[in-house]
Chain A
Amino acid sequence: MKNREEVVEKLRASAREMLSNKTVDVVIGWGCVTPEQTVATPVFVKSPDDVELLDWNEKCYGNLAAYMTRKEVRALGRVALMVKGCDEKALVVLRRESQIDPSNPPRVIGIACDEDGLGCAKCGTCDVHVPRFADIVISGVTPVPENVPVPAEKRYERLSEFMKQPRENRLAFWMKEFDRCIRCYACRQVCPLCYCERCIAERNKPQAIDSSATPRGNWSWGITRAFHLAGRCIGCGECTRVCPAEIDLSLLNLSLANAAERSFEGFRPGMDPDREGAVGAYSRGDSEEFIR
């Protein structure tokens, strides 16, 4: 990571300032890691004396926007949130979906990634290494680099490869993937856009989705989740990173993104804050006849 120490110093300084002058009540950021730790635990800093808990390192995977809709976090008051460029897209969608109180929006501290990001698969095709709407952007490089567009063919390369397989093989692949699902809902819990007060997977009057980790239950869950995130998933890949069964949800999400981009005039969730969402917004330009 380029000039990591400098980045850390700057982010701690802005956190200290916001907490000292009481612009915010809590700063949510990533914590320090020991060499053995595989992920930086998010930290909630409430006092300017504790900003040393905040860090920027190769294991800052978490998309902290997921905390914005949590009851316990809302109760903390005014929030400053650390985001990477990819995480920031979630805030754009949350705002569009009225999940962020306009009278109390978070202060956003954006951290620019290096060209290879954190080395995740998603980082290789990322075109938002630098947060675009944050209140402050901290970068290890001056001047702050420009974001470089990535052509669609490259962004969907993995999907195109997969789609070359015959339908039966693809079905067999997903059957095998979902067979390992244990219904821990880690995918849902880390997702910044899975904020339903009561998820359909938990409703039992009537029971729409079997809570059983069986092919029927897992298939219903996997597909329902995908449909509900279609045109909304910003592709942060957190669901895939945390899955204890290593189910390749990113590939499914890529398919959703591709469908949204093809069917809604190049729509990409979280990219354009001025554009209405693909789902949940009516437009006379929609291709479906029945809606008019």
Chain B
Amino acid sequence: MNAEEMIGREDLIINRDGLGQLVRDWLAKDKPLAAPKRIKDDLVQYALCTDFDEIMLDGFVHPDNSIKTFLFPRHEKLYHYETDELGRITLEDSNFGEFSQLLLGVRPCDAAIVPILNHVFNWDLKDSFYNRRAEGTVIIALGCTTCDANCFCTSVGGAPDGVAGADALLFPTSDPSVFAVKVVSEKGAHLLAKYCAIGTAAPKAAAEVPVRFDMDTVHDWLKENFESPFWEEESLSCVGCGACSYTCPTCHCFDIMDEKNGLGAGWRVRNWDYCQGRQFTLHASGHNPRATQGARQRQRLTHKFWAYRDRFGTVLCTGCGNCIRRCPVGLGVLPFAKKICELAKKS
């Protein structure tokens, strides 16, 4: 089948064997492939896989991390520096070789980060580190037939069978060995052409994710309540860690550090940063414009639902629910958004 013809068709299927072949062929080229994988009894993560059997295509709601780590890694070396005996400094860029990876079994709320993050990484400077990875990545998403109480994609414009950011979407059917396929991009078509077939299979019902809050209400309330006592009150229980930000698919703050490797040499690196910590926005003078936990929670919520949206036209949240699942004390975007909507209703 010609690749262009595949895009948008409603009658494509792939069976498990075809998918297994696709995975083996990809791995045979020695290119990285990441997919949901069971790491421990209670832990499923998107992780590098070396065998089709490791890949989980059902039996989980959302992995405990996000695909962000494969597009914007937790640690990236930007360049190497070295000083010789005369004090002359040599800089060497990180190696920008060919880059190609496959992300398979990606939840729609993870795939959706690509169009969202593309904005911020191409807004003033073109971030070559991010772009190189995003361009070299093929995302085969996997639609959801189940959800939990923390899922809220439908409240932020997503859907359990959404295709945003994906190159193709697989959806489970009544036959466990067959997936319905929706090809979205040329990248997806080229990858799948050899393994897909025309056929019919009844897709299972998509997960019914209720709309849990109104994001316009949240946006408007945030804009008008920057100094509300709500923030300090509701943030007392926040312990100030980065579990929400680091398991969030869209949080993208980073810190630039020098990491020494012997005397006068080392790497300039960038590492993930998180807004709930005491060091976030701490100035060299000692002043911190986000000095309290309340101010930091407000920062997180306003960035996601007001600032990002007003600047780029999209909220910085895909409703994956990881911030709630992984919060040590049961906070996260959803409880905050719900409370904000209650307050907005009262006023």
A→B interface (CB under 8 Å): 33-34, 36-44, 62, 66-67, 72-73, 180, 182-186, 188-190, 202, 204, 207, 210-214, 217, 238, 241-242, 244-246
By the criterion CB–CB under 8 Å, are B237 and A41 in contact?
yes
Residues B74 and A183 in contact, CB atoms below 8 Å apart: yes
Interface membership of chain B positions 225-250, coded 1 if the CB is closer than 8 angstroms to chain A and 0 otherwise: 00000001101110111110111000
A182 vs B45: C-alpha distance when bound (angstroms): 13
B269 in contact with A212 (CB, 8 Å): yes
- What are the residues of chain B within 8 A of A44 when measuring CB–CB? 233, 236-237
Across the A-B interface, the 7 shortest Cβ-Cβ residue pairs:
A36-B149, A184-B242, A242-B328, A186-B241, A189-B241, A189-B239, A41-B330
Residues of B within 8 A of A (CB): 39-40, 42-43, 45, 64-65, 74-75, 148-150, 232-233, 235-237, 239-243, 245-247, 255, 257-260, 269, 271-272, 274, 277-279, 292-294, 325-331, 335
Residues of A within 8 A of B294 (CB): 72
**Contact assessment for B243 and A72 in the assembled complex, using a CB-CB cutoff below 8 Å:** no
* Chain B residue at minimum C-beta to C-beta distance from A39: B330
**Bound complex: CA A186 to CA B65 (Å):** 15
Query: How far, in whole Å, are A38 and B61 apart by their CA atoms in the complex?
Result: 15
User: Nearest-CB distance from B308 to chain A (Å)?
Assistant: 22
Q: Are A246 and B243 in contact (CB under 8 A)?
A: no
- Residue pair A213, B328 in contact (C-beta under 8 Å): no
| Option from A62, A213, A244 in Cβ contact (under 8 Å) with B329 | A62
Chain A binding surface, main DSSP class: loop
Interface centre among A34, A183, A212, A238 (most CB of B within 10 A): A212
| Nearest CB in chain B: distance from A31 CB, A | 8
Given contact pairs A42-B237, A189-B240, enumerate 11 new A-B contacts (beta carbons under 8 Å). Answer: A33-B330, A39-B327, A39-B328, A39-B329, A43-B237, A182-B246, A184-B274, A211-B255, A211-B257, A244-B247, A245-B43
Asked whether, in the complex, the Cβ of A186 is within 8 Å of the Cβ of B239, the reply is yes
| Distance of B298 from chain A, by nearest CB (Å) | 14
Distance A211 CA – B39 CA, assembled complex (angstroms): 24
Minimum distance in angstroms from A183 CB to a CB of chain B: 7
Closest-CB distance, B34 to chain A (whole angstroms): 14
Which of A44, A62, A72, A217 has most chain B Cβ within 10 Å? Answer: A72
A182 touches which of B258, B272, B277, B329 (Cβ 8 Å): B272
B-side contacts of A213, CB under 8 Å? 74-75, 271-272
A-B contact pairs, 15 of them (CB 8 A): A36-B148, A39-B329, A41-B335, A72-B236, A180-B45, A190-B239, A190-B328, A202-B278, A207-B257, A210-B259, A211-B257, A213-B75, A242-B328, A244-B65, A244-B326
Query: Could you say which residues of chain B place their CB within 8 Å of the CB of A34?
Result: 149
Query: Nearest chain-B residue to A41 (Cβ)?
Result: B330
Q: Could you tell me if A212 and B279 are in contact, using CB atoms closer than 8 angstroms? A: no
**Chain A neighbourhood of B257, CB < 8 A:** 204, 207, 210-212
User: Which of A43, A62, A182, A214 is the one whose CB lies under 8 Å from B328?
Assistant: A62
Q: Is the CB of A183 within 8 A of B149?
A: no
Within the complex, the shortest CB–CB distance from A201 to chain B, in Å, comes to 10
With A and B bound together, what is the CA distance between A213 and B246 in angstroms? 12
Contact yes or no, A242 B43, CB < 8 A: no
Please measure, in the bound complex, the distance between the C-alpha atom of A201 and the C-alpha atom of B95, giving whole angstroms: 29
Smallest Cβ distance from B129 to chain A, in angstroms?
A: 15
Also in contact, A212 and B245, with CB within 8 A (given A180-B39, A185-B277): no
Q: Roughly how many angstroms separate A67 CA and B150 CA in the complex, as a whole number?
A: 26
Q: Are B64 and A211 touching (Cβ within 8 A)?
A: no
Task: Across the interface, name the chain B residue whose C-beta is closest to A213.
Answer: B74
Known A184-B274, A213-B271, A244-B246; judge A41-B331 contact (CB<8 A).
yes
Pick from B42, B245, B293: contact of A72, CB under 8 Å: B293
Least CB separation from A46: chain B residue: B233
- A115 to B241: give the CA distance in the assembly, Å: 32
Minimum Cβ distance to chain A for residue B331 (Å)? 7
Bound-state CA distance A37–B233 (Å) is 21
**Which residue of A39, A40, A241, A244 contacts B64 across the interface (Cβ within 8 Å)?**
A244
Residues from chain B with Cβ under 8 Å of A242 in the complex: 241, 243, 326, 328
Chain A residue nearest to B149 in the complex (CB): A36
> Among B43, B241, B245, which residue has the most Cβ atoms of chain A within 10 A?
B241
Closest Cβ of chain B to A61, distance in Å, is 9
Q: How far is the CA of A189 from the CA of B246 in the complex (A)?
A: 15
* Complex Cα gap A190–B326 (Å): 13
Contact partner, B75, options A40, A67, A212, A244, Cβ 8 Å: A212
| CB-based nearest B residue for A34 | B149
Contacts of B247 in A (CB 8 A): 244
Q: Which residues of B contact A180 (CB under 8 A)?
A: 39, 45
Q: Do residues A184 and B245 form an inter-chain contact, with CB atoms below 8 A?
A: yes
Residues of B within 8 A of A41 (CB): 237, 329-331, 335
Return chain B residues, CB-CB under 8 Å to A241: 328
Bound-state Cα–Cα, A202 to B245, Å: 18
In the bound assembly, the distance between CA atoms of A16 and B129 in angstroms comes to 57
In the bound complex, do residue B279 and residue A202 qualify as a contact, i.e. CB atoms below 8 Å apart? yes
The answer for the CA separation of A40 and B243 in the assembled complex, in Å, is 17
Question: With contacts A36-B148, A186-B328 known, is A212 near B236, CB below 8 A?
Answer: no
Evaluate contact between B242 and A186: CB separation under 8 angstroms.
yes
B329 proximity list for chain A (CB < 8 A): 39, 41-42, 62
Cα separation A211 to B272 with both chains bound (whole Å): 9
Give the distance to chain A from B233, nearest Cβ to Cβ, in Å: 8
Taking a contact as CB atoms under 8 Å apart, the answer to whether B242 and A211 are in contact is no
**A61-B243 Cα distance, complex, nearest whole Å:** 17
